[in-house]
Structure 1
């Protein structure tokens, strides 16, 4: 195989150390590292141990990787580290297998089916919001995390999951996600060379979640008639009709994939949105006025959500500043040239969505919160490839529309009844785990008087 020469104009991120390369810097402060790489240009060289890789921070290069030349790339090490939990689910599978799985699962994410999940989303939110007292301090991100776990389980799997299992997911998932992140930057052989407390906790948490997943699949097998719009039912019915792909193991992998994605991305987006609403009370007041006008105190509906134009712009700007999936990787399957840069086969390519969506060449005042940038013609002029919180191309997140509905429905239900304010004006630091989550986010909830 021909080896492509390293492009002479691709700068190297400074601070590489012998043997470990940039690994320690990436693990200690990944957002700062990605920002430093972005400052060097659209693509930069990094080293994971002795192996060279690339960090992409430009939307045009990203479009080449995800859309135009997607067939020249495969999932990178960032994804492979998740196989202990997700197996060959839709996030990690590839080729014809992935296309078949996506075709089977698509019906669960149609517009009509997502609308049918709205009652579950609103009910789960009401169960929490109605318990609050005026002036209570709520840890918003942790609250949204538990809420998202309940929503994804009840929407996708219409099962009465035991409370202890929900609590177990809430307890174990952060341990698993942080373990995945460490293994994306550090070879697992090094992490597991010596038994450590964090390593033992990681494998124990993976096993606890696997047990829950197998139990739910078994419970569905024992049922009689299955619901029509339930994802688990779609998978089981596909297996019953002779689809050899849909073994119990594959159904379990898809369950764990959607549980992981649904419990990580939505609470991050809702948490950051609330942080920004607390920081900009005039924006919160405008959303509340829009929600009042559309629903007039009535329960949130799918048709009503379509009319929340300003709310959607606010959520979109929140997703731009704080994309839940902030960085991902790919690996070149062959020698490839993207926008004039030559990349050799079998090279890891990381791309920072966080940096792409804060590109000063695309966004005016990129670090500032400006929902109006998405208004009308201004928003249409922004390149689609510079806003990719749910990915792009054939690997675009299958649950994107579900996530948009959930985020807006929960926020509208919340702001119908409550005004949220930060406990203090201290900045909330982003924590780059599997999702880009807010650090401690205590907020005071005040009952609205109408």
Structure 2
């Protein structure tokens, strides 16, 4: 055991100097190890988060694909329900990003008015579609007839009531917030509800006019991502830094090719090309109609073939729809993405990542539908301008008779039609006599 003390040459007592182990190096090693462990844990945590996000995103992607194809197979009415749900959810997300909760709570009617204007707008738009496509049902019903004939006036008065209530609810000190919400609500109504309404009209015109625009946008989005990460180098637009020119152009080419193939398949099935004449129809019952000429093959003669290529055929047989799909695919590739850029700019304005969390792993509903709204609007306008065949329908004839003729004149129309059907051998003489007798009694009364 070492001595506790010792004397020096002068007799003074000194304490022994114990040697202390230098732990500096080991202390640094320990700190480094802790730092490395922290980095490993953080990397593992980030990896776990990304893995969980990927799994959630993949699961909900499959769910959305299943709902999409399942509703198409189930029938048009289910698609209309889904489009309506998308409208409402997207509207809710958009008006929420400019909302100030504390002020909204102090102003009780701010949110109520937004939803009131949504209901009024949907009543007007849905009523217009129902009356247009189902005149033959609505106009002969005693209860629905007044609502159908005065639909636009009723819709206008509903809007005026909301407008008056908004003005009456203005409170001092909150004018800027209230007018901001009023303007924001109307912007959301136009950009979401009105455009989505035309998507619903596309469903009525035929399943293909809904399926193709939606598929083209999804295809373009997928190939823009694939082409962008494969050979994309040049930034396309600052609002979306990850978008590249190479991905933009590559997606256009791929969308055109896939659109051509997809159209060639869909044209073979009447369920896709026929307008809706039975809301209870589904993929198993099918639909029957006279096909629009745009779906029928037509032979075209090439006007000029240069001499080096004289071996090429001078005539080609193709359905006109294949030319139209080139225009639609081009719009889906070059114009519709700007709907997404607009949404990106809007999110940057309010410094938010997503419009909401309606779809786990994907963000809000608006994040997934930003390009679909403008594409559906374009598809309807293009169809009405270049493809639709306008002819007299039962509904339009009934509308003309009801709104333009008196009761006596309407009876004369029925008598005339009965005689015509008798002359064509469609009905017997007893039917004509019965109608003449009963209608005569109606006139006397």
TM-score normalised by the chain length of structure 1:
0.28
Rg larger in structure: 2
Q: Which has more helix, going by share of residues? A: 2
- Greater relative contact order (Cα 8 A, min sep 6): structure 1 or 2? 1
